[in-house]
């Protein structure tokens, strides 16, 4: 009888989709010793490349259920994986802290109650005289911004993360096929993934990480999985005002749902929108800068220097994400909606445990 380790080394896993979820699963599974093939026709133009990379883990207010369990696991795993990946890119890091702000009194009261109930030194209300609040009020010419700081949360630069994962996968000599999978089927206990070039790739396991398009590859009637496309847009704005230094602001913060990342003294990123659509909007500047009753002049006069978008998969009728064993050797890991970067480590660990149990 073969040992469990031999089974792992011999088992071949095909990962369909090479966004953050496909790549992160490849990392986790290849560290265990599996043979991996990743297939993706267009890995540079997916939702992962559009992500702002905020990790809203410990500031999540619902502290029970699967969603919280996944967040908690990811908060624990991220620093370990970053330390590991720094061997391939020493600049990769988690920028901390993350600041959540509001101008709405009711929302602030909810935050205060949450912080009081948590009694966690990593979560604090920002006092009016804190340097963060002072600098935000000065830059945005506001008086009524309030909020909390989460020391454990932060941001990973998503593009840098994807590039680092590519370096790791190249170093490990992981097979990569730049093709689209058009069909999967099972024959003689093996999975066969057929590509658009009519190539058949055999494997013991297929892992579906191809976001919205997973439903094209599975028999949807028996699995009853529905995904909706949700557009996310972001812009980079250039400002021209010598009085304002955007680097005096926190490294990443959120004001009433808009994520803000100062990039330099006169450049900042704002994202992201959230609507059931796949087509970017024209009046995006207005929509992304309307988080205050009155905009400061430097923001009104700001010019878009870059804009981009991504289409995220939101599960319809069940919570996000969908991580499931669909049948023997077929696992789905999709529907990450707004939190693919945050949840990648926890979900990849879940998938690895499923595969280990299946092969043991
Ligand atoms: C503007 C914006 C900001 C965001 N900010 C954050 C954030 O701050 N924090 C956070 O955690 N998340 C954020 N997200 C969400 C995050 O980007 C997604 O949850 C995540 O990228 C989902 O990753 P994925 O790998 O499932 O999908 P994708 O990145 O979309 O990758 C799916 C891949 O599957 C491939 N594929 C599709 N069909 C096939 C096929 N038939 N055969 C082979 N390959 C196929 C595609 O080519 C694609 O490369 C943001 C998203 C957007 C758009």
Q: What is the DSSP string of 87-108?
A: TT-TT---B--EEEEES-HHHH
Q: Is 232 in the pocket of ligand 1 (CB under 6 A)?
A: yes
**pLDDT for 7:** 65
Testing ligand 1's pocket by substitution, the residue of 56, 210, 342 carrying the most ligand atoms inside 8 A of its CB is 210
Separation of CA 135 and ligand 1 centre (Å): 34
**pLDDT for 274:** 78
Q: Is 201 in the pocket of ligand 1 (CB under 6 A)?
A: no
Distances (CA, A) of 188 to 192, 202, 355, 356, 357: 10, 11, 19, 21, 21
Q: How many Å separate Cα 187 from the centre of its chain?
A: 34
**pLDDT for 207:** 98
Q: By C-alpha distance, which of 86, 27, 20 is closest to 49?
A: 20
Q: Is 339 in the pocket of ligand 1 (CB under 6 A)?
A: yes
**pLDDT for 85:** 98
Separation of CA 211 and ligand 1 centre (Å): 6
Q: Using DSSP, how many helices (H) and how many strands (E) does the chain show?
A: 12, 19
Q: CA 78, CA 313: separation in Å to the nearest integer?
A: 23
Separation of CA 312 and ligand 1 centre (Å): 6
**pLDDT for 4:** 55
State both tokens at 319.
Answer: 């919570």
Backbone angles phi, psi at 206, to 5 degrees: -120, 130
Separation of CA 179 and ligand 1 centre (Å): 17
Q: Which residue ranges of the chain lie beneath pLDDT 50?
A: 1
**pLDDT for 275:** 79
Q: Is 161 in the pocket of ligand 1 (CB under 6 A)?
A: no
**pLDDT for 92:** 98
Q: By C-alpha distance, which of 257, 229, 234, 252 is closest to 336?
A: 229
Q: CA 239, CA 246: separation in Å to the nearest integer?
A: 9
Measured from the Cα of 234, ligand 1's closest atom is 1
**pLDDT for 3:** 56
């Amino acid at each position: 009888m073969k040992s469990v380790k031999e089974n792992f080394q011999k088992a071949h896993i095909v990962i369909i989709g090479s966004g953050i979820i496909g790549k992160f699963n490849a990392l986790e599974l290849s560290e265990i010793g599996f043979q991996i093939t990743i297939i993706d026709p267009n890995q540079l133009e997916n939702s992962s490349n559009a992500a702002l990379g905020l990790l809203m883990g410990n500031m999540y207010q619902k502290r029970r259920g699967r969603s919280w369990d996944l967040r908690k696991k990811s908060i624990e795993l991220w620093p370990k994986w970053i330390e590991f990946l720094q061997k391939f890119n020493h600049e990769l890091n988690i920028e901390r802290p993350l600041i959540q702000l509001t101008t709405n009194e009711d929302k602030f009261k909810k935050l205060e109650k949450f912080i009081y109930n948590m009694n966690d030194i990593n979560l604090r209300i920002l006092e009016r005289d804190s340097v963060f609040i002072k600098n935000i009020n000065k830059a945005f010419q506001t008086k009524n911004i309030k909020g909390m700081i989460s020391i454990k949360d932060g941001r990973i630069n998503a593009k840098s993360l994807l590039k680092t994962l590519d370096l790791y996968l190249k170093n490990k000599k992981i097979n990569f096929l730049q093709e689209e999978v058009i069909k999967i089927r099972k024959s003689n206990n093996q999975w066969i993934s057929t590509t658009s070039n009519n190539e058949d790739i055999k494997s013991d396991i297929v892992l579906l990480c191809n976001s919205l398009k997973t439903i094209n590859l599975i028999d949807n009637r028996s699995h009853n999985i529905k995904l909706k496309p949700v557009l996310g847009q972001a812009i980079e704005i250039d400002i021209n005002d010598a009085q304002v230094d955007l680097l005096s602001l926190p490294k990443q913060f959120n004001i009433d749902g808009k994520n803000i990342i100062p990039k330099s003294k006169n450049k900042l990123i704002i994202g992201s929108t959230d609507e059931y659509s796949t087509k970017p909007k024209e009046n995006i500047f207005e929509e992304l800068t309307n988080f205050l009753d009155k905009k400061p002049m430097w923001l009104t006069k700001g010019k878009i220097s870059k804009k981009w978008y991504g289409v995220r998969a939101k599960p319809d009728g069940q919570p996000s994400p969908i991580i499931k064993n669909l049948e023997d050797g077929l696992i789905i890991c999709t529907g990450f909606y707004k939190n693919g970067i945050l949840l990648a480590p926890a979900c990849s660990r879940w998938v690895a445990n499923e595969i280990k149990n299946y092969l043991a």
